[in-house]
Amino acid sequence: MEIQSVGIVGAGQMGNGIAHVFALAGYDVLLTDISQDSLDKAIALIDRNIERQVARGKVTAEAKAEAMARIGSTLTLADLGACDLIIEAATERETVKNAIFEDLLPHLQPHTILTSNTSSISITRLASRTDRPEKFMGFHFMNPVPVMQLVELIRGIATDKATYQTLLGVVERLGKTAASAEDFPAFIVNRILMPMINEAVYTLYEGVGSVRSIDESLKLGANHPMGPLELADFIGLDTCLAIMNVLHEGLADTKYRPCPLLTKYVEAGWLGRKTGRGFYDYSGAVPVPTR
């Protein structure tokens, strides 16, 4: 089937980036969240981010105006029921995601494809709670969405071939690259990335190195664009911890045990950039290590 309209649940860091790329690719986008303030901030941020692309010559002013005109917003989740494709981009908690899909089900069109932007939760399990497991997939974008080229496509055990082929076509129209992953905890990217970040936190916890020396070592010694602790702050330490817990519980291997220091930072509310403090303090002009 051809996708023309896309509903996005969640106007946060991931949701607004997903709305941005879909609108620029010519899709009609309807964005929903639980507060009008969140929606207003998301639309304003999309406008600023596309304007930066215009300034760099990557997007024309006309294309920007057309994209912004394609983005609508609503506080009513049921309004998304008319869309051809729905992308859930809410917080990384399975109970929240299940509640969203349960509320959506009575309002969906028979052909509507449901997807989740989850970075780690079982697609098969999420799909089983809906009335269309064959039309359900994991659609995992990387952050920041407008910049990162990869999209992980994850089929649940019941996902049919037509749904998979449709989403492959969507990724191609977005100008991105699809990587197909099996439905195992954390899929491909986070199965490899999060244990590395967790090991960096252990390295800090055990006093092997400081925040700055650990990040500089990986940037200059392994040619990573960001150090692992800097990257954890960017992703959100709560998200990192949630994914490590999924890996630890889903694979029952002690090598995935979340570092106690990561847990402590999350308990303190030090979640990284979004709260102004994580492994770095972002209150000043230049981030300062907190350890």
Residues with catalytic annotation?
119, 140, 152, 190
Cβ atoms of 139 and 87 within 8 Å: the answer is yes
Burial of 95 (0-12, 13-18, 19+ CB in 10 A): exposed
Residue 266: count of CB within 10 angstroms of its CB: 20
What values do phi and psi take at 122, rounded to 5? -60, 120
- Count how many residues are written for the chain: 291
Burial 29-55 (b: 16+ CB within 10 A, else e): bbbbbeeeebbeebbebbeebbeebee
Q: Are 276 and 284 in contact (CB under 8 A)?
A: no
Question: Could you give the CA distance from residue 238 to residue 269 in angstroms, rounded to a whole number?
Answer: 9
Q: Which residues contact 61 (CB under 8 A, 6 or more apart)?
A: 54
User: Could you say which DSSP state residue 15 is in?
Assistant: H
Residue matched to tokens 């997007």: 59
Phi–psi pair at 268, nearest 5 degrees: -80, -10
3-state secondary structure of 64: helix
